[in-house]
Amino acid sequence: MSSTVTFRTATWDDLGRVVELIADDAVAASRTGAYGAAHEAGFAAIEASPNDELVVAELDGQVVGCMQLTFVPGISRNGATRLLVEAVRVDARLRGQGVGRAMMEHAHARGRERGCALAQLTSDKQRPDAHRFYRSLGYAQSHEGFKLAL
């Protein structure tokens, strides 16, 4: 990767591209849905939240990745604030070139700026490559992740 990845908060103009990035994935395609009012409501709720940030990564003026950061205050782990990272995606054409690593480094820097002592995320058991990637960043694969439709 000869150019430098830059980061900024997503705007309404990015939302279509963000939905495209999130859906461009074998595991997530069917559950992301086509761009619509539900994504717009989600974006509005993220914008309204003081503890959520939707971040896009740019390379040569193009949006090539996205991720959502949530800062979660807490009592456990000696009152630690947690950085929750969700919906991490890199343009499929650019995988393996360091974009994801640069994104996670940015996520951790933002977490530290917000006083987070801990980063946490879950990754579908169907994504062994992602697990290897997170372990390579120093993450401990210490927990089981559970989901329930409400």
Using a 10 angstrom Cβ sphere, with 0-12 exposed, 13-18 middle and 19 or more buried, the burial of residue 64 is: buried
The tally of CA atoms less than 13 A away on the side-chain side of residue 131 is 11
Select from 1-9, 56-64, 92-100, 104-112 the region that touches its own copies (CB under 8 A). Answer: 104-112
Interface positions, 19-38, toward its own copies (CB under 8 A): 19, 22, 28, 31-33, 36, 38
Examine residue 6 and tell whether it contacts its own copies (CB under 8 A): no
Measuring CA to CA, how many Å separate 147 from each of 42, 68, 88, 144?
19, 18, 18, 10
Examine residue 94 and tell whether it contacts its own copies (CB under 8 A): no
Query: Which residues of the shown chain bind its own copies in the complex (CB under 8 A)?
Result: 15, 18-19, 22, 28, 31-33, 36, 38-43, 45-46, 48-52, 54, 68, 70, 72-84, 86-87, 108, 111-112, 116-125, 131, 134-135, 137-150
